[in-house]
Amino acid sequence: MNQLEQLKQYTTIVADTGDFQSMKAFAPRDATTNPSLILKAVQKDEYKPLLEKAVRDHVRKPTAEVIDRLLVAFGLEILKLVPGRVSTETDARLSFDTQGTIDKGRALIALYEAAGISRERVLIKIASTWEGIRAAQVLEKEGIRCNMTLLFALPQAIACAEANVQLISPFVGRIYDWYKKSTGQDYIGADDPGVQSVKRIYQYYRKFGYKTEVMGASFRNTSQITELAGCDLLTISPELLQKLAESEAPVTRRLSLEDAQSANIQKLNLDENAFRFMLNEDPMGTEKLAEGIRLFCADAVKLEKMVEALR
């Protein structure tokens, strides 16, 4: 078996792309998108018709609503190719607006349901700020499942689990980027700080019986992926899926319920003050969360400009 086939024995594979044509060969169960991936996709000739149709069909609607419909159009196409779920992201500019995020999550689900897709097949992606986590807690109680993104630190993961969210996406590659730049060192395999972060979160969840799914995300190389074999899910770009499919190097399980339950971990109780203080004490987590929100906001603005240009 190739590495991708081996990995599927231990972990659910998710395609991380807006280029849904590229995922056919790899048979992922789920798929995730984000503003940057959608922006990249609509600049390709094969996906421009989705953008043009969203604008043409809703030309009198506010730009924000046209973009919602574009995101859902991508999601609907993806759901024709995957048997599981698609993740659709809320506007990053709502990252500190609890009610705005709730409203956006409800609006996106309403569009999917109007298209005949049940809410069980959709995950609403929300930034893992304190306000975003509170919004997800409300949405989850309404049966709207959430995928908490831009997650870099343990306090974010704990707050998400306490809010009973469906799934978190801890970012491996961006953590790696920060430490590589900060220390001047490269990191390989189990020594990778991004890998260690996801392993710590996975063990914490399983040790204390949280049901929230852990989906490692944002990978820079296949070593980061294979070191997390056994994680609930891994969302992987088509480029890295291809590399896994081309390699027959052995893949062994690295994360397991048994190891997590025997791990020496102390349970933390987080209120808002403790959450903010712990995140503030983590320069990597603080910087990467802020940077990630800024980047997604910038791409959302670029997408708006593309919509406006077609009106």
Residues 6+ positions from 163 with CB-CB distance below 8 Å: 133, 134, 136, 137, 140
Distance, CA of 284 to CA of 275 (rounded, Å): 15
What are the Cα distances from residue 153, in Å, to 22, 184, 199, 210?
31, 21, 12, 17
> What residue ranges in 115-227 does DSSP mark as E strands?
122-127, 146-151, 167-170, 213-216
Q: Given 24, 48, 53, 125, which residue is catalytic?
A: 125
* Distance between start and end Cα atoms, the chain: 50
At residue 211, the 3 state secondary structure works out as: coil
Neighbours of 298 (CB within 10 A): 14
CA proximity to 87, closest of 211, 197, 176, 217: 217
Tokens of 252: 């062994």
Q: CB neighbours (10 Å) of residue 45?
A: 6
Please indicate whether residue 125 is annotated as part of the active site: yes
Tokens for 189? 């395999």
Q: Which residues are catalytic?
A: 125
